Amino acid sequence: MLLFYSTNSNYHSEFNHIKVNLKEALLNGQAPDRGLYMPESFPTISTEELYSYSQKTYPEIAYQILNRYTEGIIPKETLYSLCIDAYNFEIPLEKVRGTTSNYILRLDRGPTASFKDFAARMMARMMSLFICESNEEITILTATSGDTGAAVANAFHNVPGIKVIILFPLKEVSERQRKQMSTLSGNITTIAIKGKFDDCQALVKKAFADTQLKKHIKLSSANSINIGRLLPQSVYYFYAASRITECKAPVVFSVPSGNFGDMMGGMIAMKMGLPIAQILAPVNGNDSFPNYLKCGEYQKIEPSRNCISNAMNVGHPSNLARLISLFGGQMNEKGEISHPADLTKLKEKVYSVSVSDDETQKTIISVWEKYQLLLEPHGAVGWNGYQRWLEIHPERKDIPAICLETAHPAKFPQHIRELLGIIPEAPLSLSSLDSLSEHYKTMDSDFDLFKQYLLDTVLK
Ligand SMILES: *Cc1c(COP(=O)(O)O)cnc(C)c1O
């Protein structure tokens, strides 16, 4: 059975013994030493099996990959039906008109119209299975800048044994994003915090660290600190490569990044043997990672900067601890590096650049004019990052490049209208929200208030 270690433990003997299986890693969310769980080793996939993926459907590929991690924990047939059930929507891979080898992978056709559905839907199904086995009740706390909350709320809605509490910054999410969370009710509670995303995240972190809460409530996380978010996010890399090169020749992926959970899915795919030439992880104005690659010193951005690609407004990406661990280093939850990573090797595999709001907007306009390609702000950061990489590596222009579009343009109708003069057509999942009634609570950013609220609602 595959075990998971904590990124805080490898150099500290005190916690060296903490290794858990997937079930515990998922239910704990974060390791007790506040590190993040990582697989002890990566199962590799033979080239023969990789080649066979071009003939398989998305749920079949998901089953093959995830089974490596769930063996001994989830029976094969059960996992297979979870995959069929979770991935019941389209995953368009569009060739960009007029290019020979550029593609857009649209990960925005799930029920909440962002790529977060891929992970949330699988994680909810796995957690529900584990909860049923153990007869426990669990409360999932999640801070969101918009898309995570929506995907998690939707995926966990009406799952027995699980309560979900979502904190979002009152003034920083769009109306549609808010309605995706606040119209569900039942086991989903939504709280608007009078503050920024960082305040929401700080409240959640404090709750995890609070010993009194821990005694009364079994808390878990659905943020991308949970390894259950990352494993399913490796699958679409295999899927996309199988459709373009049958996994026989390397491809480049450009992944617009905030907390770096999405790009870590790509790193996992690479570790499992998928031929990836390089992963591009462009960011918005929150540029702590490209600065780190440049100078080897890490400095988080505090407070995080507000950019139009709002789901990527992250000043200290939590998954960097995992990335650095993969390259032999160690970073704790505060962003302090106690053991440096092999920066040369890291840069061979990963490229990053900061894309400003102005460049993002110009990209949305230029790809529309040049290719009739409709991108929203996050996807535009991804495309721009690829162009910047090409400027440095013109010799690599023939390597097939897949840019991830992580949200549906109709989630950002006002930006698209201002820039292009059109209103993107909303999928039914978004347009049907307009007439539903909302239930959410508004709260000051105050831990004592929040804690009392948790005790009152969860224990009642
Ligand atoms: C969450 C999100 C991102 C960033 O993904 P990370 O895994 O946090 O790097 C990018 N785009 C959209 C639309 C998102 O919702």
CATH number of the domain residue 169 falls in: 3.40.50.1100
Sheet holding 102-106, edge to edge: 93-95, 102-106, 401-405, 251-254, 276-280, 350-351
Residues 147 and 262 in one domain: no
Residue type, 153: A
Distance CA 325, CA 58 (A): 30
Whether residues 252 and 365 share a domain: the answer is yes
CA of 406 to the centre of ligand 1 (A): 7
Residue 257 Cα: closest atom of ligand 1? 9
User: What is the pTM (predicted TM-score) of this model?
Assistant: 0.95
Measured N-to-C along each axis, helices 76-86 and 58-70 cross at an angle, to the nearest 10 degrees, of: 140
Residue 229 lies in a domain: no
203 plus 253 within the same structural domain: no
Half-sphere exposure of 263 (CA within 13 A, CB side): 31
Instruction: Please provide the DSSP assignment of 122-163 as one string.
Output: HHHHHHHHHHHHHT--EEEEEE-SSHHHHHHHHHHTT-TTEE
**213 and 356: one domain?**
no
Q: Check: CB of residue 280 under 8 Å from CB of residue 267.
A: no
| Protein residue whose Cα sits closest to atom 14 of ligand 1 | 311
On whether both 51 and 162 belong to a single domain, the answer is no
Cβ–ligand 1 distance for 144 under 6 Å, the answer no
141 in the same domain as 208? yes
335 lines ligand 1 (CB under 6 A): no
Buried-state track 322-336, b at ≥16 Cβ within 10 A, e below 16: bbbbbbebbbebebe
Burial of 319 (0-12, 13-18, 19+ CB in 10 A): buried
Cα(72)–Cα(338) distance, rounded to whole angstroms? 35
What's the CA-to-centroid distance between 54 and ligand 1, angstroms?
27
Closest CA to 227 of 331, 345, 321: 321
* Domain hosting residue 359, numbered range: 91-109+234-420
Q: Whose CA is nearest to atom 2 of ligand 1?
A: 311
Pocket probe for ligand 1: among 310, 312, 322, the residue whose CB has the most ligand atoms within 8 Å is 312
Substitution site in 114, 253, 279, 322 for ligand 1 pocket (most atoms within 8 Å of beta carbon): 114
Dist. CA 9–CA 357, nearest whole Å: 38
Decide whether any atom of ligand 1 lies within 6 Å of the 378 Cβ. Answer: yes
Q: Is 224's C-beta closer than 6 angstroms to any atom of ligand 1?
A: yes
Residue owning the nearest CA to atom 8 of ligand 1: 259
Is residue 438 assigned to a domain? yes
The response to whether residue 265 sits with its C-beta less than 6 Å from ligand 1 reads no
Q: Average pLDDT by consecutive 10-residue portion of the chain (460 residues)?
A: 89 65 92 91 97 98 98 97 97 96 97 97 95 88 91 94 94 89 95 91 88 91 90 98 97 97 98 98 98 96 91 92 96 93 98 98 98 98 98 97 97 93 92 92 97 88
CB of 147 closer than 8 Å to CB of 180? no
Distance CA 153, CA 157 (A): 6
Residues 350, 399: one domain? yes
147 Cβ closer than 6 Å to some ligand 1 atom: yes
Same domain, 80 and 96: no
Phi, psi of 299 (to 5 degrees): -135, 120
Does residue 315 form part of some domain? yes
CB of residue 406 inside a 6 A radius of ligand 1: yes
Q: Is residue 58 part of a domain?
A: yes
pLDDT for 189: 96
| Closest listed residue to residue 115, CA positions, set 229, 280, 221, 269 | 229
Asked whether residue 3 is assigned to any structural domain, the reply reads: yes
Is 285 near ligand 1, meaning CB less than 6 Å away? no
Position 11 scores a pLDDT of 55
Q: Identify the bridge partners of residue 330 per DSSP, sorted by sequence position.
A: 339
Question: Is residue 17 one of the residues assigned to a domain?
Answer: yes
Distance CA 373, CA 364 (A): 8
Ligand 1 midpoint to CA 256 (Å): 7
| Tokens matching residue 389 | 């990489």
State whether 31 and 46 are in the same domain. Answer: no
| Ligand 1 center–CA 379 separation, angstroms | 10
> What integer pLDDT is reported at residue 175 of this predicted model?
86
**Number of domains making up the chain:** 4
Does ligand 1 lie within 6 Å of residue 150's CB atom? no
Residues 316 and 301 in one domain: yes
Residues 219 and 287 in one domain: no
Which numbered atom of ligand 1 lies nearest the CA of 262? 7
Domain match, 349 and 289 both: yes
